[in-house]
Amino acid sequence: MPLAQLPRPQWLTFDCYGTLIQWDEGLQAAVARILATDSDTGRHAPSPAQFLHVYDGHEHRLEHARPHRSFADISRESLRLTMQELGLEYRPEHAEMLVGGISAMPPFPEVVETLAVLKQAGFRLCIISNTDDGIIAGNVAQLGGHIDRVVTAEQAGAYKPSRQIFAHAHDGLGVTPDEVVHICASPHLDLAAARDIGFRCVWIDRGTGRKPLPDYRPDATVATLDRVPDLFRDAGWL
């Protein structure tokens, strides 16, 4: 249903990594540094993109395993398994190159100014993220002080696309799913949850090649976050 036919939300929720924070760029830079430390990679070195394809598979599997593990632990184990699968030597310092750099990953260029516009328009802003409190703190510190609430997988004890993390967020905000609009760039996690739970969703299609599930269409799609205020003006929300 077009946003103009829906009531104005009080809260906007956001995915963090890939939506607000330059996740792919940061991960590829970290992987390039890791690969550069292996003097024997010349014979079989994968590209950062190939490396991350394997890494993502391990990460998503571990996020759904029980018992719940911290994102830092999952990242370290995913890295170890990826390097083992690719025939690369894993060392503990490799994990620190990856996990230690996440907090320093910067926002996309348009993000801070756009968050300011949305905040000034009266929306309250919340991040819902598959991470740990200690990791995301460094990223939130770069967002201009505009974020009102942060909900993490560590707090909820579950990772997206589980209903549990979104239920934890909605309960904490005091809203029902139809009273928020979620803004995200992750089709395999956030759009899957939107399909299953029924909350409104704006997809930021940053041209990564990731596509929505075939049986779901977001309520709106824009290329970058700074297009969201125009979208909301067209809906009569701004």
The whole-number average pLDDT for the span 179-201 is 93
pLDDT over threshold 70, residue 96: yes
- Spatial CA neighbour of 102 closest among 67, 129, 81: 129
| Tokens read off for 71 | 């994102």
Rounding to the nearest 10 degrees, give the CA dihedral for residues 165, 169, 170, 172: 140
pLDDT over threshold 90, residue 185: yes
| Tokens read off for 189 | 């996690």
Q: What is the mean pLDDT of the chain?
A: 92
What local confidence, expressed as pLDDT, does residue 151 receive? 98
pLDDT over threshold 50, residue 214: yes
Domains of the chain by start residue, with CATH:
8-22+105-235 (3.40.50.1000), 24-104 (1.10.150)
pLDDT over threshold 60, residue 42: no
pLDDT over threshold 50, residue 41: no
pLDDT digits (tens, 9 = 90+) for 154-175: 999 999 999 999 999 999 999 9
Q: Provide the whole-model pTM.
A: 0.92
pLDDT digits (tens, 9 = 90+) for 54-66: 998 999 999 999 9
Q: Of 46-50, 124-128, 140-144, which gets the smallest average pLDDT?
A: 46-50
The whole-number average pLDDT for the span 22-42 is 80
Query: Whole-angstrom Cα distance, residue 147 to residue 124?
Result: 8
| Tokens read off for 172 | 């904490």
Query: Whole-angstrom Cα distance, residue 227 to residue 171?
Result: 29
The whole-number average pLDDT for the span 96-105 is 92
pLDDT digits (tens, 9 = 90+) for 105-132: 999 999 999 999 999 999 999 999 999 9
pLDDT over threshold 70, residue 52: yes
Q: Of 35-49, 99-113, 184-198, which gets the smallest average pLDDT?
A: 35-49
Helices (H), the chain: 23-36, 48-63, 71-85, 92-102, 111-120, 133-140, 153-156, 163-173, 192-197, 228-234
Query: Whole-angstrom Cα distance, residue 23 to residue 102?
Result: 8
pLDDT over threshold 60, residue 43: no
